[in-house]
């Protein structure tokens, strides 16, 4: 299985990069993981709605260019459904059994993802009803992927 984590923006904080590196290392026992960092569209300090929509549209073209044909795509968005760790493991297993060998997980910019990306996704997924710093999303998602693969492989990490 190949997992492409497609993100808008780069991690700025060293402690977040270190946390991601740890989960990337752990995940390498289970999957081929590709982190694809795309540059978000630069916006003024106080953008209006039209500027935000135009930026999200431009970012969607960058995202679609990185999604392989015939792969499974999950858009990380606040209006997405929430899964337990066990349900995420079941979903990843089901994708594998369906014959798809690539899963794309897309984290948008601080303004989210365009409706076009969300509609094209096979799954809309939300981390939580709580609000977290945007840069923490990558760490949280990598941890949950690692947890899911330990569940799938009957390892003791998940309790």
Question: Per-domain residue ranges for the chain?
Answer: 2-152
Residue 159 banded pLDDT, cuts 50, 70, 90: low
Predicted pLDDT at 27: 98
Q: Which of 49-53, 87-91, 108-112 has the lowest mean pLDDT?
A: 108-112
pLDDT exceeds 80 at position 62? yes
Phi–psi pair at 93, nearest 5 degrees:
-65, -40
Assess contact for 141 and 107: CB atoms under 8 A. Answer: yes
- pTM of the full predicted structure? 0.94
Q: Does domain 2-152 have CATH number 3.60.20.10?
A: no
pLDDT exceeds 70 at position 158? no
């Amino acid at each position: 299985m190949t997992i492409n984590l497609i993100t808008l923006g780069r991690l700025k904080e060293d402690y977040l990069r270190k946390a991601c590196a740890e989960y990337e290392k752990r995940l390498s026992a289970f999957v081929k993981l590709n982190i694809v960092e795309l540059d978000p569209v630069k916006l003024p300090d106080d953008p209006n709605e039209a500027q935000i929509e135009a930026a999200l549209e431009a970012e969607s073209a960058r995202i679609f260019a990185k999604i392989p044909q015939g792969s499974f795509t999950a858009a990380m968005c606040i209006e997405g459904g929430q899964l337990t760790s066990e349900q995420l493991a079941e979903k990843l297993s089901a994708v594998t059994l369906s014959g798809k060998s690539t899963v794309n997980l897309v984290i948008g910019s601080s303004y989210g993802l365009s409706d076009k990306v969300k509609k094209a996704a096979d799954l809309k997924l939300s981390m939580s009803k709580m609000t977290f710093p945007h840069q923490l999303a990558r760490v949280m998602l990598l941890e949950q992927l690692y947890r899911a693969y330990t569940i799938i492989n009957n390892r003791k990490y998940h309790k």
